[in-house]
Structure 1
Amino acid sequence: MVAGVIAGASVGVAVAGPVGVVVGGALGAVAGALGGAAAGGMGSADDAGADPDDAVRLHIEDSGGSGRPVVLIHGWPLSAQAWEPQIGALHAAGYRVVAYDRRGFGRSDKPESGYSYDSLADDLQRVMEQCDLHDVTLVGFSMGGGEVARYVARHGESRLHSVVFAASVTPCLMQWEDNPEGPLTPEKAQEKRNALEQDREAFFDQFTVDFFSANGVQKVTESERNEALALCRQSGQHAALACRDSFSTADFREDLKKVTVPTLVIHGDADAIVPFEASGQRTHRAVAHSTLVLVNGAPHGLNVSHAQSFNDALLTFLAT
C-alpha cells in the first residue's frame, strides 16, 4: 500500500487530505481485442467484445463534501494530476471535485484492451455510480471531451447538471470525405503514430512543447512542461497508441446532437494541437445552446498556461 492510497476501498471514501485518493472499487472493465490498434496500423480501437469478469481498477481522487459534484476528465496522455490548477479553485468554491486517471494512464490499471470511446464512456459511468454522483458537471479536456460526448450518447443526461468541452477533440478530427473540415489527415495521423512507436521519449518531449506553445512561443515554465512530461511517461505505451487511434478517428457529430444540458465550450485561439476553428468552433455550432469562451493567445494546455482565465470561465459557468 502506498501512503495516501487505499487499495480495494469503496470509491468515494476520502482519505489523505483535502483531496482524498482512492484506488479500486471494482470498476468493471469492458475488454476485448482492439481491432488492430495495438498492432502497428492505425485503427478505430473498437472493442471486439466484452468480458464482464475483467475488472479494471481506476485511480480516483474525490474531495468529498456536500457540494455539487464536478468530474474532471483529463486529456491524452496525462492523468488526473493535470487538473491541479483547477482542483483547489473548485474545492475552495464549494464544489465536490472528482478526478480520475483514465484506464491505461497515470495510476490506473493498464489493461491491453478497452480503449474505444464506448468503453471509456462506460468507465466514466462506473465512476459516477461508484461515487454516487448526481447533478454533475462533466469537464472533458481534449480527448476527455470525446468521453463527455459519448457518455451523453450512451448513458443519457439523468445524472448531469451541465457539461464542459475544454480544448476538446470534438466533433471529428479525421478528415474524412464527409468531414472535410477535419484538421487531421489519415497520413498525418499515421505519421504521428509511427513517431510515438519509434521513439516514445522524443515524441512526448516535442508533444509537451507543442502542447503549451502559442504561435511558437512556450507559455509555461520549463518546470511546468516537465511536470506534464512526467505524466506522459506514466502512460502505458499500448494505451497511448490505442487512445491516439480512438481520438483520431472517432466521430462525435451524432453524439453532440444529444447534448441538451447547459454547455460551455472553452478553447485557446492559438491551440496548435487541436485548432479552434476545426474543433471548438464546430463544437459550439453543433451544440446550439452552448456558451463559447475563446481565450486569447492560449495554447492547447490552457488550463495550466492560462489557469486564471480558465478557472474564472469555469466558475462563472458553474454558478449559472
Structure 2
Amino acid sequence: MPYTTTRDGTRLHYNDWGDGRPVVLLGTAMMDTRMWEFQAPFLAEHGLRCVSYDRRGCGSSDAPWNGYDYDSLADDLADLLDHLDLRDAVLVGYAVGGGEAVRYLTRHGDGRVGKLALVASTTPFLLRAEDNPDGLDMALFEEMAQAIRTDRPQWLSQLSGPFFGGPEAGPSDPPISPELADWLVRTSLDSSPRAGVEIYRTLFTTDQRAETAKVTVPTLIIHGTADLGAPYALCAPRTHDLIKGSELVTYEGAAHGLFATHADRLNQDLLAFAKS
C-alpha cells in the first residue's frame, strides 16, 4: 500500500493507476479513495494516469489532531504532487475537494496543474453573512458537528437518502442499490470524528470568493440541481461567474452523490475534459 509523508509528518495513503495524463481525484469530506469506485478504474482504462488519495484523518491515512484547514490540506496535496512529480495534471475537486483544489492553486500556483474540474464543489462560500444573506446558517454546522460527536453511524445512515437522492429522499430510497449506499456510507466511518467535524467546519465557514476568482486554468464545473450538501444556487453558478472562461454543466434533478448516481455520465464528462 503506497504512502507519502507530508511536510508535517502525516502519512497519506494513495493509489496511482494507469498511464497518461495525470488526473488527481480529491474526494468528499469524510470518504476516502473508495468513493472513486467507478471513476478511477474507468479513467485508468481509458489512457489516463489516475491518482487518488485518502485525505488526512480519513481511510488509511494518518489522523492527526490538527491540520484540517484549507492551507494544511492544500499543502498535503502539494506534497503528493511533488512526491509523484506530476505535470499538467487535471485536478478533480469533489465537494470540499473543490475548495482544497482552489486553495492549492492560489497557494502553490499552477505549475503542475493544467486543468481543474469542480464537481459538486462547495466553492465559493456557504455560510450566511452580511454580504452572503442567502447562505447557510451556522446553526446547521453546529447540528452536524453534534451529530458526528454523538452518533456518527446514525447520522450518516439518515443522510444517505438526501445525499444520493435529493432533499425529499429518505434513507431507505436512494436511487442506487441499498447495498451500495450502505457501503459508501460505511467508508465515511473510517474517518476520525475530529477530522469529520473540522473538515466540515473548514468547508462551511471559509470564504473562498476572492481566491476562486483568481483561478486561471481551464475549469469545468459539474453540479446537480438537487444538491443538498453543496446547494446549487449557492455554489455552481457563483463559482462559474467567478472563474473566467469556465464551463458549467448542470445535472438536472441530481443530488450530491453524482459519483455513484450518475457515474456513467460523470465518467464521460471527466474523460472528455481530461483528453481535450
- TM-score w.r.t. the length of structure 2 is 0.95
Q: Deviation per CA, 1:290-312, whole angstroms, max 9, x where unpaired?
A: 11111122110011101111111
For residue 113 of structure 1, report the CA deviation from its aligned partner.
0.6
For residue 215 of structure 1, report the CA deviation from its aligned partner.
5.0
Q: Deviation per CA, 1:95-139, whole angstroms, max 9, x where unpaired?
A: 000000000001100001111100000000000000110100000
Q: Distance in 2 between matches of 1:284 and 1:226?
A: 33
3-state SS of 2:11 partner = coil
**1:18 equivalent in structure 2:** none
Does residue 204 (structure 1) correspond to residue 156 (structure 2)? The answer is: yes
Opposite residue 90 of structure 1, the aligned amino acid is: L
Opposite residue 196 of structure 1, the aligned amino acid is: I
C-alpha RMSD of matched pairs (Å): 1.2
Q: Deviation per CA, 1:76-111, whole angstroms, max 9, x where unpaired?
A: 110011011101111111000000000000110000
Q: Distance in 2 between matches of 1:275 and 1:244?
A: 15
Q: Distance in 1 between matches of 2:273 and 2:18?
A: 21
Instruction: Give structure 1 stretches of 5+ with no counterpart.
Output: 6-21, 30-54
Instruction: State which of 8, 11, 14 in structure 2 corresponds to 1:60.
Output: 14
Q: Choose 235-244 or 216-225, whichever is displaced more.
A: 216-225
For residue 64 of structure 1, report the CA deviation from its aligned partner.
4.5
3-state SS of 1:144 partner = helix
| Higher helix proportion | 2
- TM-score w.r.t. the length of structure 1 is 0.83
Q: Distance in 1 between matches of 2:11 and 2:156?
A: 25
**2:146 equivalent in structure 1:** 194
**1:258 equivalent in structure 2:** 214
Residues 285-300 of structure 1: pairs in structure 2 closer than 5 A: 285-300=241-256
Does residue 159 (structure 1) correspond to residue 112 (structure 2)? The answer is: yes
3-state SS of 1:180 partner = coil
Residues 224-235 of structure 1: pairs in structure 2 closer than 5 A: 224-235=180-191
Opposite residue 98 of structure 2, the aligned amino acid is: G
**2:38 equivalent in structure 1:** 85
**2:5 equivalent in structure 1:** 26
3-state SS of 1:199 partner = helix
**1:239 equivalent in structure 2:** 195
**1:9 equivalent in structure 2:** none
When Rg is computed on C-alpha atoms for both structures, the one with the higher figure is 1
2:18 and 2:47 in contact (8 A); partners too: no
**1:137 equivalent in structure 2:** 90
Instruction: State which of 220, 239, 247 in structure 2 corresponds to 1:283.
Output: 239
3-state SS of 1:318 partner = helix
1:172 and 1:249 in contact (8 A); partners too: yes
**1:76 equivalent in structure 2:** 29
For residue 272 of structure 1, report the CA deviation from its aligned partner.
1.9
Q: Distance in 2 between matches of 1:216 and 1:181?
A: 21
Does residue 108 (structure 1) correspond to residue 61 (structure 2)? The answer is: yes
1:173 and 1:249 in contact (8 A); partners too: yes
Q: Distance in 2 between matches of 1:139 and 1:290?
A: 14
